[in-house]
């Protein structure tokens, strides 16, 4: 561990940190109310669209900014600030029944999401230096993200039965979590004041653009492709005629469960496969889309969605983990900020990608574009296998210059 805490303080620290996923998964709460937004504010469609997806784009900007601000401020300060913004924007989200007001509050939520995501991952990277421990904690954090999202989404569904305003009551859980963040997250030095093991200032080295850039491009493509089924599972279900909205909700939940399970064992997976951890994820999602193209059996489709969710959880954890080991330690926070931004943009763009591919291929169905997705994923699988083989001889993991010289 990079920082030493007593067992009790570590448990409280991780509990508070993992619960901040309520902020990251904030959108799960409003999903049951989305239909009502269109009904109530149907004459302000652009604002409604921003209410739904605007926070994703806002979080991209705030994540990049947070990666820089970590150089100047303690991670605890930034996490507290971000979670407080989320709490204010979400709890007061419908204090005024106005589309403009709700959009403004959702913008605050978006800023908070970016800060929470970056600082939480940066804290894990700082407190867990050993790769095996860090990968296990990143997996556990992402598993808790999936679990928290499933729980608050389920609760919001029950609240939505009363009225669409009621779902915002779920956000009050943010108050005790904010108190826990203030009390239990350890104070850290701004990274510009960080010291190495010899108590010398940490030298800030540049990010290796070739390696890191290639990883970001891979993550962008990977996320955008998985985002197709993540966002449009209901469209697929109706298109195939295999069920209704309730089945779509079930299939979405199965994907979340799969993701949670894969994240829980990510530490073991990464310790065994390292650079090759992403390979099975590419293969499973490719086979998943192939199955969705060809099968109308509800059980088979459910199994495919579960395995695709597991593959995504593994891949999502992989890209965050790799972002911390292929850059200098002084650039880890910047790396996490960029990876978080890539994650947000790629998910946002996935729905537009569907429309583009449908026009390009002259089809009007989701299934019609899946052959292209399968080909891209198969190409990614082959490329990852070749790069993993190459990585054994030419490691992409960051090594200190003096270590390289000694070798």
Interacting residues of 291 by C-beta distance below 8 A, sequence separation 6+: 300, 301, 304
Helices 209-240 and 370-393: angle between axes, nearest 10 degrees: 150
274: left (phi over 0), alpha (psi -120 to 50) or beta: left
Report residue 381 as tokens.
């699988």
The pLDDT, as a whole number, for residue 282 is 96
Of the chain, the end-to-end C-alpha distance in Å amounts to 26
* DSSP H or E run through 35: helix 34-40
Q: Which residues pair with 195 in a beta bridge?
A: 201
Q: Quick one: pLDDT at residue 200?
A: 52
Eight-class DSSP state of 88? H
Residues 6+ away with beta carbon under 8 Å from 320 = 121, 138, 142, 336, 339
Q: CA 158, CA 153: separation in Å to the nearest integer? A: 9
**Residue 283 to residues 163, 226, 273, 311, 381: CA-CA distances in angstroms?**
42, 12, 15, 9, 6
Q: Do residues 211 and 338 make contact, with C-beta atoms less than 8 angstroms apart?
A: no
Per-position b or e across 356-379, b if 16+ CB within 10 A of its CB? ebeeeeeeeebebbbeebbebbee
Q: For residue 26, give the nearest of 153, 187, 179, 115 by alpha carbon.
A: 153
Two tokens, residue 18: 């993992």
Nearest CA among 246, 23, 27, 36 for reference residue 160: 36
Cα Rg of the chain (Å, integer) = 21
Q: Angle 293-261-220 (CA atoms, 0-180°, nearest 5)?
A: 55
Place of tokens 């995504």: 312
Ordered mean pLDDT values, 10 residues apiece, the chain (407 residues): 75 95 87 77 81 84 90 93 96 92 93 93 89 89 87 81 86 96 92 56 73 92 89 80 76 85 90 91 96 92 93 92 86 86 85 86 90 95 92 74 41
Cα distances from 7 to residues 4, 13, 289, in angstroms, run 9, 10, 44
Q: What is the pTM of this model?
A: 0.80
Tell me the C-alpha distance between 291 and 373, whole Å.
12
Q: How many CB atoms lie within 10 A of CB 211?
A: 15
Look-up: residue for tokens 């190409």? Answer: 379
Three-state DSSP at 201 gives strand
């Amino acid at each position: 561990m990079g920082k030493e805490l007593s067992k009790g303080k570590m448990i409280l620290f991780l509990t508070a940190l993992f619960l901040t996923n309520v902020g990251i998964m904030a959108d799960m709460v409003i999903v049951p109310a989305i239909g009502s937004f269109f009904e109530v504010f149907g004459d302000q469609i652009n604002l409604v669209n921003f209410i739904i997806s605007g926070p994703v784009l806002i979080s991209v900007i705030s994540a990049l900014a947070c990666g820089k601000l970590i150089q100047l401020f303690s991670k605890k300060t930034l996490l507290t600030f971000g979670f407080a913004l989320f709490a204010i924007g979400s709890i007061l989200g419908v204090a005024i029944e106005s589309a403009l007001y709700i959009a403004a509050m959702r913008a605050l939520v978006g800023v908070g999401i970016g800060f929470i995501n970056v600082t939480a991952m940066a804290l894990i990277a700082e407190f867990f230096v050993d790769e095996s421990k860090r990968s296990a904690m990143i997996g556990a954090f992402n598993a808790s993200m999936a679990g928290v999202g499933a729980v608050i989404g389920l609760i919001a569904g029950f609240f939505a039965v009363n009225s669409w305003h009621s779902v915002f009551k779920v956000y009050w859980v943010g108050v005790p979590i904010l108190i826990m963040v203030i009390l239990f997250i350890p104070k850290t030095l701004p990274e510009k004041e960080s010291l190495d093991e010899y108590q010398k200032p940490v030298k800030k080295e540049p990010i290796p653009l070739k390696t890191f850039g290639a990883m970001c491009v891979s993550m962008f493509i990977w996320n955008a492709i998985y985002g197709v089924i993540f966002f449009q599972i209901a469209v697929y279900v109706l298109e195939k005629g295999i069920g209704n909205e309730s089945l779509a909700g079930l299939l979405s939940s199965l994907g979340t469960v799969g993701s949670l399970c894969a994240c829980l064992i990510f530490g073991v997976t990464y310790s065994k496969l390292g650079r090759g951890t992403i390979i099975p994820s590419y293969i499973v999602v490719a086979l998943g889309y192939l199955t969705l193209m060809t099968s109308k059996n509800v059980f088979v489709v459910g199994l495919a969605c579960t395995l695709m969710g597991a593959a995504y959880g593994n891949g999502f954890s992989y890209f965050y983990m790799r972002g911390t080991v292929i850059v200098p330690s002084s650039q880890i926070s910047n790396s996490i900020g960029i990876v978080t931004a890539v994650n947000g943009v790629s998910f946002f763009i996935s729905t537009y990608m569907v429309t583009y591919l449908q026009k390009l291929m002259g089809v009007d169905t989701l299934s019609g574009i899946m052959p292209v997705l399968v080909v891209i994923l198969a190409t990614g699988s082959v490329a990852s296998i070749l790069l993993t083989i190459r990585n054994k001889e030419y490691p992409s993991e960051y090594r200190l210059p003096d270590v390289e010289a000694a070798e």
